Amino acid sequence: QLKDKEGRLTLASWVEKQQAAIDLFASHAEELGYKPELIKQITPEAMLGVIHAEIFTDLNAETFVRLAPVLFETYNVAYAPAMGDKKFSGGLAQMTAETFEGILKKHRGELERIRDTDTGAAFLVPTNGNRAEFSAAMLTDEDSQFFYNVFVLAENARLATRGIAKDKRFVDAWAKATEDERARYMGSLISMANNLPSAAKNAAEASLKEHPESLGEMAARLSGIKITRMKMI
């Protein structure tokens, strides 16, 4: 499936396509049950953090950012499947087939309606049990992979923040934070949640306990945490 995809997407073209998918998802966020202010924090830059955490952990952040254009073209990053993963993970968000099945089971009606009524929607909604369609939507069909990348990260972020989002200390710290601090916080949290949402949730709660008045300090705390138990959702 990947043999004709080599070097197809540069970093610049990936950013453009992924941003379009983010905008599409954001325009239907409430319909799908997500808060627009949460989706606002899912950006191509935040997704690059996920790529770094998933595929290029041996590189420090600055080196990864500097080399990202070369890595995209050399290693075909946009279509990177999880190597040796027995749970069928594919795509930059490393979504398993089981996760995909759960999304479709819960949101099939909304997804089909969006696909059929929004002229900008070109993603696939696979039929039940069709693994070939699942694989295409998770990995090789660009419109689908980019859209479902956002979907998975949105769900992970929701799971990771559902407790602290109602905590007055966090609400106050978020309100007085700069946009840069918010972006750093969510970028760190999303990268963690992609591996294990429950661990990211615990880390977010711990960072809030230690730094209840500063989102910037919470972000720094999250950035220093490494999850040792890697588990794809």
Give pLDDT tens digits for 93-120. 777 788 888 889 999 999 999 999 999 9
Q: What is the number of other CB atoms lying within 10 angstroms of the CB of residue 180?
A: 10
pLDDT digits (tens, 9 = 90+) for 1-32: 677 777 678 999 999 999 999 999 999 999 99
Query: What's the pLDDT at 82?
Result: 62
Residue-level pLDDT at 228:
39
pLDDT over threshold 80, residue 154: yes
pLDDT at residue 226 greater than cutoff 70: no
- How far is residue 154 CA from its own chain's centroid? 6
* Spatial separation of the C-alpha atoms in residues 78 and 93, rounded to whole Å: 10
CA distance to 2, 25, 73, 170, 231, per residue, from 95 (Å): 17, 17, 22, 29, 11
- Would you say residue 189 has pLDDT above 60? yes
Q: Cβ(50)–Cβ(160) under 8 Å?
A: no
DSSP 3-state assignment of 120? Answer: coil
- Classify residue 59 by its DSSP letter: S
pLDDT digits (tens, 9 = 90+) for 44-76: 998 998 888 888 888 988 899 999 999 888 888
pLDDT over 70 (residue 84): no
State the Cα–Cα distance between residues 123 and 140, nearest whole angstrom.
11
71 three-class SS: helix
pLDDT of residue 87: 66
Question: Residue 169 pLDDT more than 90?
Answer: yes
0.75 exceeded by pTM: yes
Give residue 229's pLDDT.
36
CA distance 48 to 28: 23
Which tens digit of pLDDT belongs to each residue from 118-139?
999 999 999 887 888 888 888 8
pLDDT at 86 over 80: no
Q: How high is the pLDDT of residue 231?
A: 36
Q: How far is Cα 133 from Cα 40, in angstroms, rounded to an integer?
A: 29
Q: Check: CB of residue 173 under 8 Å from CB of residue 209.
A: no
Q: Which of the two residues, 84 and 161, has the higher pLDDT score? A: 161
**Mean of all residue pLDDT scores within the chain:** 86
* Residue in the block written with tokens 């479902």: 148
**Angle at alpha carbon of residue 164, lines to 162 and 168, rounded to 5°:** 130
Question: Please, what's the largest Cα pairwise distance for the chain?
Answer: 51
Residue-level pLDDT at 218: 94
Mean pLDDT in residue range 143-154 = 92
